[in-house]
Structure 1
Amino acid sequence: MFSPDRSHRSRKLLAASALGLALALVTGATPAGAVPAVADPTAGTAPTISAAPGTLAPGVTYREFTRPTAGVEVPLHLVEVDLRNPLVTVDLITAGAVAARAPISAQADSRRAIAAVNGDFFNISNTQPGVEVTGSAVGPAISGGDELKAAVPNGQRFGPGLPPGTATSDVLGVGVDRVGRLARVGLKGTVSAGRQRFPVTGFNQYALPVGGVGVFDSDWGGVSRKRSTCGTDTDRAAPCSTDTYELSLRHGRVVQTGTEPGTGAIARDTVVLVGREQGAQALRGFEVGDRVRVDYDLVPDTRIPFRFAVGGFPILRDGEPLAGLDGRTAAIRTAAGISADGRRLYLLAIDGAGPGLTILDLALTLRELGAASGVNLDGGGSTTLVTRNVAEPAVEVRNHPSGGAERPVPNGIGVFSRLGSR
C-alpha cells in the first residue's frame, strides 16, 4: 500500500561509520609527487602540465593540464577523489527536482560541495509542437540513497550514439561500501488491484515505453507530464500518443482521473500513474475510490546498493576503451572514471577554449590518468567543472564553458568534505 513516506520503495542506504579520525585542514597546499602522464594515442607524447595539483581538502585535488592531440594542445580540468578518505563523500547534486535545471555552480553551492561536474544528458529540446521541455535526465538517478528516476528507452535519449552493448540504464556511481563502479540499473514495479496486475515501466522519466505505465511522484516537480507520452521506443521525434490516461492515487486510493497527462507539483502523499496505448487501457479500468497498490524500485545488477548513481554511457571498461567509440569527431566533453579497485574517482572536463577530444581520446585520457572504467557525460555547452577550497564560501567555474556561460543542467556529481560543509 502506498504510504506518505514512500516506504514502499526500497531503502538501501546503510548507516555511515562513525569517524575516529581527525585530519588537519589543508588549504591549497601542493602535494609532492609526479603528475600522471596522459599519452596521446596518435603521437605518443605526454601532456604539458599548465598548473600543479592543488589540494581542495584532504583526499580531493584539482589540477589543469593540456593534452597534445592532432597537433594541438587541448586544455583539461581534473578533480581526483580518494574515496577511502573518511572525510570525503560523493553524491548526485540536482536542481531541486527531476524536471528542473540550474547551473552546476548553483547546485554545488546549495549543497556546499567543494567540487562538481555536470552529469547526464537530458531532454533539452522537443520536436512535438506545444509540448513542454522537461529538462529531465536520460538515465537513472540516485542521490543520497534516494531513488529519483529510471531510464528512458534507448531511442528516446539525447547525446552521441551509444556504443554497442550499452544502454540508457548504464550508470556510474558509488555504493554504500564507498566503492565506485559501473553498473546497469533497471526498474521493477507492479500496479495491482484485486486480481489485476500489470507492470510499471517508467518512473519520473520524460519518455515512457510504448504501451507502458509510468509512476510520477513529488520528486518529479511541477513540469507537465505530457512529454512522457511522446515519441516511440525507437524514434524520439515521433508524434505524441493520442491514447493516454492518468490516475492520481493518495494513500492507496484513486482520487482523480484524466484523459491527458497533467501538470503541477505532486504532493508527497500522492503518486500519479500515466499510461499510453495498452497502459492507458489498463488505467481506464479504475474509478475514483478504488484501491490500487503501486510498488516500484530501481534494481542494480550489482549486489551492493548505490549511495549515488548518475546516467552516462560507458567508454572504458576493465582498462580498455569500448569497441565502436568515435575516434574522429572532436568536441567539448565531460567524463567520470573509477580506478580498478574502485577507490579513486576522476572527474574530467575539457575546456571550451580548446578544440575538444574525440570520445576514443576521452577514454584513453581517463585510462592514462588511472581509471579502469569510465563514462561519457553530457558535453558541449553543458560541460562545467567547479571547485572551491574548504575555506572559501562559494565555488568557482574552472573551465571556459563553450557557450560563454554556464548552461542550466538537471544534475551533476558533487564532492563533499566534512571540513567544508559547515
Structure 2
Amino acid sequence: MTPNSTARRRTADGPTGRRKVSGPARRRLAAGLAVVCGLALVQSSTAAAAPEPLASDVLFSGEEQVAPGVTFRSFTWETGHGSTQGYVLEADLANPLVDLGLLHRKTVTEPTAISALADGQGAVAGVNGDFFNNTDEHEGVEPTGSAVGAEIAAGEARKGAVPDGQRFGPGLPEGTSTEDVFGLGSDRTARVASVRLEGKIETGHGVLGVDGLNQYAIPVGGVGVFTEAWGTTSRVRATCGTDTDRGAPCSDTTIEIVVRDGKVAEVRPEPGAGAIAAGDFVLVGREDGVGELDDLKPGDPVSVDYQLAPVGVPEFRFVVGGFPILRDGTALPGLDDQALAPRTSAGASADGKRVYLVAMDGRSQVSAGLTVSELADLLKRSGADDAVNLDGGGSTTLVAREAGAQHVTVRNNPSDGRERPVANGIGIFSGGGR
C-alpha cells in the first residue's frame, strides 16, 4: 500500500508492514449550489412528506473568494414554515492548491471549537463534522466526546464506527449504517462511501478479530483496540449499552489487557483510564470477548493488525462519519420529515471534483431550520449527486477566512450563541498549508 494507506500494522516495536485482513463488518452534500453572476434563483420543492410546502425559490447571494478555488456564499429560503438562512463553501478540487482534510485534535476524545481546529491546522474554511457522544446516559460514566463514525486523517486510521444502535442523531435511512462516510480518496476525488474495520489480534493462544478501534462503544461480545489516539478518557463507556440499545446498562463482564513491546504487560478486570503510551495497545473485551482474552498472562506475545478498508472505492486520505441523504441524485427513503433544526451537510459533484459544505443559522436566530428530508430536496434540486447529513443543532458551525485574514471567523449564527466544542470537522486547505 501507499504511504497514505488507511492500514496500519503495529506491534509495540512500531510499524512492521501492512496487510488487509478480514474481520467483523459494520456497516457522497455532492451539491452544485449554483450561483450565476452574483445572484441566482434555484427552483426547489419540498420532499413529498415534508410538514408544509415550500413557499419560494432559494436566493443565493454574497459570493466571496476565500482562497483560490474556494468560495463562500449565503442563501435565503422562504419556506412554508418560515425563512431559513444558510451558507455554502465550495471547493474546487481540480485546482491543485485546494485540499480537504479532517479537522481534529491529537486524540479522538477532545471536543474543540471548529474555529480553533481550523486555525490550529491552517485550514482556510470548514464545518463541523460527525455526531458524537456528548450525553451522560450511564450513572457514573462520563461522555467520551468521541465521534459516532470512522475517522481517517492523512491516511491514518484514527477510529472505527460504533454499532448502529449506539449512534446519536436522526434515524438512519434504510440501507445505511454508521460505516458510511464522506471523504477524499487517494485519487483526489470526494465521495460518499463506507469503510469497514478489519483486523486481527494474534496471541500464543490463537487469532482474534478486531471489533472496535478507539470507539465509545464496542459491539456486544467483542474486543476493541485502543491506542494513544484515544487519550486519557475512561474506557468504561466502551462496554456500556448494546448493539441495539444505547442506554442499556454497562456490562459486568469485562477485561482489559495492556500490550507493550509486543507482550502482555498487565491484565485488569475492567476498563481503566489514563494515557496510552505511543506504540502500546489496550485491548478491552466484553461478554464473549472476555473469554477470548482471559487466557493471556503477563509476558505473552501479542500483535495487533487493523485497517479501515474502503468498500468498492480507492483508499481514503481522509474520512468523517455522516449518514447519506442523497445517492446518485436521489433522496434516500425514510429521511426525517418532521423535526426542524439547523443542519450541516457535505457532498460533492457527480465527478467528485467540487465539494460543497453547507451550514444553517441556528434556532436562536431568525431562521426556521429544515427537516432532513427538505435538506435532501434542496440539494438535489440544486444539482447534488451524493450527500451526507452531519451533526446539526447547536453543533452546526461554518468558518472561513475573510480577505487578507490569517484566521477564520464563524460565518453562521450557532444556536447556542457561540461555538459548541465538537468531535471533528471537515477542513478546506489552500496552497498546501496543511
**TM-score (ref. length: structure 2):** 0.89
Question: Residues 31 and 53 of structure 1 are in contact (CA less than 8 Å); yes or no, is this contact kept in structure 2?
Answer: no
Task: Name structure 2 gaps, 5 residues minimum.
Answer: 1-9, 21-34, 47-52
> Which residue matches 1:136?
146
RMSD: 1.9
Residue 44 of structure 2 is aligned to residue 39 of structure 1: yes
Question: Residues 57 and 389 of structure 1 are in contact (CA less than 8 Å); yes or no, is this contact kept in structure 2?
Answer: no
Deviation string 1:147-176 (CA, Å, 9 cap, x unpaired) is 110000000001111111110010011101
The 1-side partners of 2:359 and 2:194 are apart by 24
The 1-side partners of 2:147 and 2:106 are apart by 13
> Which residue matches 1:111?
121
The alpha-carbon deviation at position 39 of structure 1 amounts to 1.3
The 1-side partners of 2:153 and 2:403 are apart by 22
Residue 302 of structure 2 is aligned to residue 292 of structure 1: yes
The 1-side partners of 2:251 and 2:117 are apart by 34
SS at match of 1:407: coil
The alpha-carbon deviation at position 373 of structure 1 amounts to 0.5
Residue 342 of structure 2 is aligned to residue 342 of structure 1: no
Paired residue type of 2:148: V
Identity, % of aligned positions: 50
> Which residue matches 1:26?
none
The alpha-carbon deviation at position 180 of structure 1 amounts to 0.9
Alignment counterpart, residue 419 of structure 2, candidates 398, 406, 416: 406
Output aligned runs, 1:23-422, within 5 Å: 32=37, 35=40, 37=42, 39-41=44-46, 42-43=53-54, 45-49=56-60, 51-352=61-362, 353=365, 354-389=367-402, 391-418=404-431, 421=433
Question: Residues 160 and 197 of structure 2 are in contact (CA less than 8 Å); yes or no, is this contact kept in structure 1?
Answer: yes
SS at match of 2:289: helix
Question: Residues 41 and 59 of structure 2 are in contact (CA less than 8 Å); yes or no, is this contact kept in structure 1?
Answer: no
The alpha-carbon deviation at position 179 of structure 1 amounts to 0.5
The 2-side partners of 1:43 and 1:287 are apart by 64
> Which residue matches 2:23?
none
The alpha-carbon deviation at position 40 of structure 1 amounts to 3.2
Deviation string 1:295-326 (CA, Å, 9 cap, x unpaired) is 11111102300011110000000001001112
Deviation string 1:338-395 (CA, Å, 9 cap, x unpaired) is 1111111110001112110010111122223332010000000000000004631211
The 2-side partners of 1:10 and 1:66 are apart by 49
SS at match of 1:189: strand
SS at match of 2:58: coil
Alpha carbons of structure 1 residues 33 and 77: separation in structure 2 relative to 1, 3 Å: closer
The alpha-carbon deviation at position 8 of structure 1 amounts to 4.9
The 2-side partners of 1:5 and 1:90 are apart by 28
Deviation string 1:228-275 (CA, Å, 9 cap, x unpaired) is 000000110011111110111112111111011111111112011000
SS at match of 1:95: coil
Task: Name structure 1 gaps, 5 residues minimum.
Answer: 12-29
> Which residue matches 2:50?
none
Question: Residues 8 and 295 of structure 1 are in contact (CA less than 8 Å); yes or no, is this contact kept in structure 2?
Answer: no
The alpha-carbon deviation at position 33 of structure 1 amounts to 6.0
SS at match of 2:320: strand
The alpha-carbon deviation at position 44 of structure 1 amounts to 6.8
Moved over 6 A (4+): none
Question: Residues 38 and 67 of structure 1 are in contact (CA less than 8 Å); yes or no, is this contact kept in structure 2?
Answer: no
SS at match of 1:364: helix
> How many pairs were matched up?
402
SS at match of 1:365: helix
**TM-score (ref. length: structure 1):** 0.91
